[in-house]
Amino acid sequence: MKKPLLFLALSVLLVSCVKLTDPVIIDVDIVPSFLSGPGVFIVNEGNFNWGNGSLSFYSYDSAKLYNNVFRSVNNRILGDIPNQMVIQGDYAYIVVNNSGKIEVVKQKTLGSIKTIEKLKSPRYISMIGSTKSYVSSLFSDSLTIIDLSTNATSGYIDIGHPSEALVTFSGKAFAAHWYNGNKIMVINTINDILTDSIEVGPEPESMVIDKNAVLWVLCNGGWKRENFAELIAINTLTLEIEKRFTFPSKDDSPLCLQIDGTGNTLYYIHNGIKRMSIDAAQLPEVPLIAETERKFYKFGVNPLNGDIFITDAADYQQKGYVLYYKNDGTFVTAMQADIIPGSLCFKLPPESVIE
């Protein structure tokens, strides 16, 4: 294990440029400057019920990681178990699961705009154009509708099940019934009505849509390992299953399905980071990035250049790490983030953003 050495090396590189506080790598005076450029936000979940979730930011311009940026800008903590961050236009939305809220901030400065409160165990948010969004819930049978013009709750959609992963595409939203579930609920986003459901494998854990408008669903088989995990491809027009890949062992528990910016290549965690073409005839056997002594928790793929950022949650109690790799799997660096670093949100240069 070389984590202490990696942290020491990072500290030496950073100390001449920014001050260390507690030992957060941050300087309030430079917050607006480094946040205005491209990079990746790391959502640190913190300890359950401790309310110590936080936000880190890796800046491509400075090649440095800045921790506790939300707290530094807003003079308050982020909350209990932040789960996801999404950027929409000039704003960013941070879903804080156990606090039952969504923090709305300016995406260039992280300055607070509004807090959407009294949500029931929110998990994921998915934007529907510039007018509204849906929010999934781990403990409610309804999706919450958010009016993006007011950043307030405007209604609910009863889908009959709790929901986890959530994606929207071409007038439809797809919500996964994850825990003890095996269905993808289909919602018409024009009139906010549940229209159909698709039976998939046990516990659909994550979803993406490729360049051919195919919905890919990664089903982990259930925590009891009674079923085989599956990767399933669904036609979003007909709602028919087109492909079904079954993992070889019931002990296989893949997670965190991602896709690159071209919509051609799938990635997921399974004994490392596996990479797979959407046209592949079988599941990959050899990982692009081996897990070795690390424990991969979540990851993201930069849609512009294919860079891969992986979070290592260590023992799920203390500060973890962010591992940075190039798109060919070449290791770049490891950086210490905050407690339980989880999902990632890429902040792209303004000229590259397509609304």
Collect all residues with Cβ–Cβ distance below 8 Å to 33 and sequence separation of at least 6.
none
pLDDT confidence bin for 351, thresholds 50/70/90: low
pLDDT tens column, 148-194: 999 999 999 999 999 999 999 999 999 999 988 999 999 999 999 99
Residues 168, 126 contacting (CB under 8 angstroms): yes
User: Is residue 213 over pLDDT 50?
Assistant: yes
At residue 76, does pLDDT exceed 90?
yes
Q: If pLDDT is split at 50, 70 and 90, which confidence band does 25 have? A: low
Q: Is the pTM of this model over 0.95?
A: no
Tokens matching residue 306: 């294919």
- Yes or no: say if 283 and 276 are a contact pair by the CB < 8 Å rule: yes
DSSP secondary structure string, 7-57? HHHHHHHHHTTS-EETTEE--GGGHHHHHTSSEEEEEE--STTTT-BEEEE
Q: 189, 171 in Cβ contact below 8 A? A: yes
